[in-house]
Amino acid sequence: MARFSKTVDIWNLSPEAIAKLQPGQWVKAGPDGTKGRFMGQGASTVVAWVGRIPRGNRYFPYLRAYAAIGREVRAKAVTA
């Protein structure tokens, strides 16, 4: 089973390195940037940013929705 790495700066990664990230991997935007969870990459990069994730009983449905978007983006990238 693959292991997650420490939080990585997504701005410093090449497109090939971003494509190798696992869904759920913690990423940040810039050296002091916002943290988020990587969900996928295709035509766009999907990240659920921490400040945007709702609290309480909407937390997991929000992450599930973003995970579904990430799967859809990855599937379209494979077929394209």
Any idea what DSSP says for residue 33?
P
Summarised one tens digit per residue, pLDDT across range 36-68 is 999 888 878 888 888 777 788 888 888 888 888
Q: What is the pTM of this model?
A: 0.72
The pLDDT value recorded for residue 80 is 59
Distance CA 38, CA 20 (A): 11
Mean pLDDT of 69-80: 77
The pLDDT value recorded for residue 49 is 86
Between 62 and 12, residue with greater pLDDT? 12
pLDDT above 80 (res 74): no
Distance CA 28, CA 35 (A): 4
Distance CA 71, CA 57 (A): 23
pLDDT above 90 (res 27): yes
Which run of H or of E encompasses 63? helix 59-79
Which residues partner with 78 through β-bridges? none
Going from N- to C-terminal start, the domains of the chain cover: 8-79
